[in-house]
Amino acid sequence: MEVLAVLKAWAEVYIVAVEKQKNQGDTHKHCLKIANSSEESYRDVTFSASGLLDLVQADLGTLSKLWLAALQDFALLTLPPEYASQLPAEGGTFYTAETIENARPHYYNSWALILYATALWLTTTGFIAVDPDEGVTNLSRPVTPTTMCQDSSTRPLVKSPEDVNTDRFHLILGISVEFLCSPRSDAAMENIIACLHALQALFDVPWPRSKIGGDQLGVELLNVLHRLILTRESPDIQLAALEVVRLILFAAQEHVKEKRRSAEEKETLPEFGEGKDTGGLVPGKSLVFATLELCVCILVRQLPQLNPKLTCSPAVPPGKHLLLSEDGSRLVAAALVILSDVPAICSPEGSVSVLPTILYLIIGVLKETAVKLQDGQLPLTVAASLQALKGLLSSPMARAEKSQNAWTDLLRSALVTVLDCWDQVDGLLQELDEVSLLTAITVFVMSTSPEVTTVECLQKRCIEKFKTALDSKDPLVQCKCYQLLHSIFQHPNKTVSYPYIHSLAPSIVEKLQETEKAKPENAAELQVIQEGIKVVTALTAAAEEQHRAQLVACFLPILISFLLDENALVSATISAKSLHEFALQTLMQIGPQYSSVFKKLMASSPTMKARLESAVKGNQESIKVKTTKHAKSPGKSSSIQLKTNFL
């Protein structure tokens, strides 16, 4: 049994080598940003990764045959007792009929890593490996020490590459499913994760995905993974299972796309995708239903509030928002990514059937986890729900002829649900993060068709939320509000953007005018003003010709009011100096673009003209001082220049 231990050790080395090679591309991109002093260490990392793989590569042909042989032995040894008659009378590759019971523990100790290594090998070779000794692909049972001396007449018949691939596919999938269906209570977590990683590697290439994309096998595998998630609490196991689910769903998407493409070429238009003409999903046979079941299992475990049956339970207090653990957040994020892809494998009618459930779950996660963080960042679950929402709203089904009207109605209802998050519940104002909800509104405005968000009552409520955020005392909320409005103002459809511009632009300009009296005192307040300037700059460019001159004439005095003369610049705070430089830079940009308005304004206001000239003169003096300092220390100058070039 030393052979199995050696094969397991080689499998572990190969797994590490392949994983390092996969990560090498990311390492290379990262190291391009590092200074020259780190190039030697990067080369060491690269050489160590490639060197380890080269070490295995020399014997990979032989190792892969022996790995496959060991897996075939293991598959036979795990057959139920009633199938004992099917075991080879002479034994297997690494055991005899007399040593079968003694061999079992050794196979159980080695199979998982060998399975993972074999799946990686098949993936990296594209699932086709020609035997150089025989000149044809006929590894239905690999050449092993016990078969090397057999006469060619007793060897199996030559198989086609398709048959060989099919045998290997079913070998790995069969072992994996058999183990995951009923893992023993004492089964090592490492074996379960290695088995799941083997399935990930298996479905990471197109050919194996084509075998499950349109097959009932995918549904059965999802049911096995659902049971595994129910019985295993480990976040690592659940995350690995969710990645396999994502790949199975991706395989189904590829299958549906190919069917639709073929139908378009033949000019036939049957309804492909689950749900067909009726929108019905059959439990036990539906990949969509199995996916939803599994995702709901993950989400409700982390967020019991999502279960309507539990919302009235005393164990789930209403209005209480959660900040999940890191593992819990990753699990929720992975489930949301899968949910947003579900409509892609549905027919238009089928997508209408599942859309309410998916919207309820995505918005539910947003609503329950939108908690303010001290650094102003969005929680992982919120970022994932917003990304999933964007993917869902951008679905082609939202614009398909047969489903567009139903999607529009359901998306409007979803937007109302988001807007209602601001309202009071049980007399207590929900402690939700305004930025998360404003971002969700912006995702709706930017990603859906205008019919969804331009309904007058909905549009007024959305604008009102932004107006409230502009008046917030929190600089982070104000800053993010400006950034989101910047996107909405630039929406290509005027029926979407103009109501926001007409309602909110005067407030933005008014707030910038008020800044002349109260200068920014810290970096947060400075950023708010800078974002406001960017918004008005974008408005100026997007304004209609007849209104542009009026807006420029209003904007230029605001920018000039932020400028400092030579004396004030010396004693000004860092924030005031930064605002001065930003305003001057903006003036230099828009001044030449609207020269006639600029000249007319300067001629009508000598005070503003003098202030601008003084600021320009002070800026030139500052540049001269910096140039002089750099000239005195040429070494430092070249170093700084190098970093600037990199940026």
pLDDT per residue as tens digits for the range 578-626: 988 899 898 888 888 888 888 888 888 888 888 888 877 776 666 666 5
pLDDT of residue 340: 95
Long-range contacts of 583-589 (CB under 8 A, 24+ apart): 583/533, 583/559, 584/615, 584/616, 584/619, 586/533, 586/537, 586/559, 587/556, 587/559, 587/560, 587/612, 589/537
pLDDT of residue 318: 53
Question: What's the whole-model pTM score?
Answer: 0.84
Burial class (CB in 10 A: 0-12, 13-18, 19+), 614: middle
Produce one character per residue of 167-187: b if its CB has 16 or more CB atoms within 10 Å, e if not: bbbebbbebbbbbbeebeeeb
Tokens for 355, please give them.
């859309």
146, pLDDT greater than 60 = no
- Averaged over 548-574, what is the pLDDT? 83
- Averaged over 463-486, what is the pLDDT? 93
Helix or strand or coil: residue 428? strand
Predicted confidence (pLDDT) per residue in 487-498, tens digit: 999 999 999 999
pLDDT of residue 321: 60
Please give the residue that has the higher pLDDT: either 30 or 111.
111
350, pLDDT greater than 70 = yes
pLDDT of residue 320: 57
pLDDT of residue 42: 42
Helix or strand or coil: residue 429? strand
Closest of 603, 601, 492, 515 to residue 550, by C-alpha:
601
Name the one residue in this structure whose structure tokens are 């080689």: 10
Could you tell me how far CA 547 lies from the centroid of its own chain? 42
* C-alpha–C-alpha distance, residues 424 and 432, integer Å: 11
Q: Checking DSSP bridges between strand 428-429 and strand 424-425, what pairing results, if any?
A: antiparallel
Question: Which H, E and C letters describe 561-573, residue by residue?
Answer: HCCCCHHHHHHCC
242, pLDDT greater than 50 = yes
Using 50, 70 and 90 to split pLDDT, how confident is the model at 642? very low
Closest of 475, 499, 480 to residue 438, by C-alpha:
480
- Averaged over 18-35, what is the pLDDT? 62
* C-alpha–C-alpha distance, residues 22 and 459, integer Å: 47
pLDDT of residue 138: 40
595's CB contacts (< 8 A; 6+ apart) are: none
Average pLDDT, the chain: 82
pLDDT of residue 135: 37
* C-alpha–C-alpha distance, residues 70 and 63, integer Å: 10
* C-alpha–C-alpha distance, residues 364 and 27, integer Å: 37
Tokens for 362, please give them.
């995505």
pLDDT of residue 532: 93
* C-alpha–C-alpha distance, residues 539 and 548, integer Å: 9
Beta bridge partners of 221: none
Burial class (CB in 10 A: 0-12, 13-18, 19+), 283: exposed
- Averaged over 417-436, what is the pLDDT? 71
Burial class (CB in 10 A: 0-12, 13-18, 19+), 452: buried
CA distance between the termini of the chain: 58
90's CB contacts (< 8 A; 6+ apart) are: 96, 97
Please give the residue that has the higher pLDDT: either 103 or 271.
103
User: Within 13 Å and on the Cβ side, how many CA atoms surround 43?
Assistant: 5
Name the one residue in this structure whose structure tokens are 């032995």: 73
Q: Which DSSP state fits 78?
A: T
Predicted confidence (pLDDT) per residue in 40-63, tens digit: 444 454 445 567 778 888 888 889
Using 50, 70 and 90 to split pLDDT, how confident is the model at 313? low
Tokens for 513, please give them.
């005018």
pLDDT of residue 382: 94
Phi, psi of 428 (to 5 degrees): -115, 135
Closest of 570, 569, 578, 608 to residue 591, by C-alpha:
608
- Averaged over 335-341, what is the pLDDT? 96
- Percentage of residues in the chain with pLDDT exceeding 90? 43
64, pLDDT greater than 80 = yes
pLDDT of residue 564: 82
pLDDT of residue 322: 64
- Percentage of residues in the chain with pLDDT exceeding 70? 82
Please give the residue that has the higher pLDDT: either 215 or 525.
525
pLDDT of residue 20: 85
pLDDT of residue 637: 43
Using 50, 70 and 90 to split pLDDT, how confident is the model at 268? low
pLDDT of residue 324: 87
Using 50, 70 and 90 to split pLDDT, how confident is the model at 464? very high
- Averaged over 181-210, what is the pLDDT? 89
Could you tell me how far CA 234 lies from the centroid of its own chain? 22
Please give the residue that has the higher pLDDT: either 187 or 305.
305
pLDDT of residue 646: 29
Using 50, 70 and 90 to split pLDDT, how confident is the model at 425? very low
Using 50, 70 and 90 to split pLDDT, how confident is the model at 291? very high
141, pLDDT greater than 80 = no
